Amino acid sequence: MHAIRRVIASDNSCLFNAVGYCCEKSLRESTRLRKVIVDAIRADPATFDEAFLGKAPTEYADWISKPNSWGGQVELFILAKALRVEIAAYDIQTERCDVYGQDADYEDRIMVIYDGLHYDSIVLNPSSIGADVEKDVSRVPASTPALASVAALVRSQHAAKKFTDTANFSLRCLVCQKGLTGQAEAVAHAKSTGHANFGEY
């Protein structure tokens, strides 16, 4: 089996749709999965407090429920538990893999890949070019030997520089057109203005 990167639309719901594709073979799960996040935060304020979330739980829940809000580590942590599946998140720039839910003895693993701004799904396919999506295997045993082909895919994406250096890249706020440098400036701008749509330039 060959590891294939299945491209997910860049619509600010890429993490949710990447997870949805891996779990359900559906690209229409983002609304449902956002609700999973909101419900988890509201049900367990002791765990999901301001220190964990980076903002007040009610504020975070309101924010992540909006379709233009990006998901990240918090969402992967919650979704692994809610869906009872390991989620292996591969970072192209560093080639690091963080596995959410790894200590919970879940039988299956799904895989996503992150380029610094965007999440796609990783699947296994009998074809080296993954021509037939109907043959995608998106849930695998957590210890499958095919994970070596996934590591090779991540290395090849890194070598081809298929990532964005979020510390130093140039962004423009698509709401007010302000130029920004790096993720830190984008986050600060979003917090001060409420603007959440950015484009790289």
Residues annotated catalytic, as ranges: 11, 14, 118, 195
- Give the whole-angstrom CA distance, residue 102 versus residue 87: 8
- Give the whole-angstrom CA distance, residue 44 versus residue 51: 14
- Give the whole-angstrom CA distance, residue 54 versus residue 10: 24
At 62, which helix (H) or strand (E)? helix 57-64
41, with CB counted inside 10 A (0-12, 13-18, 19+), is buried
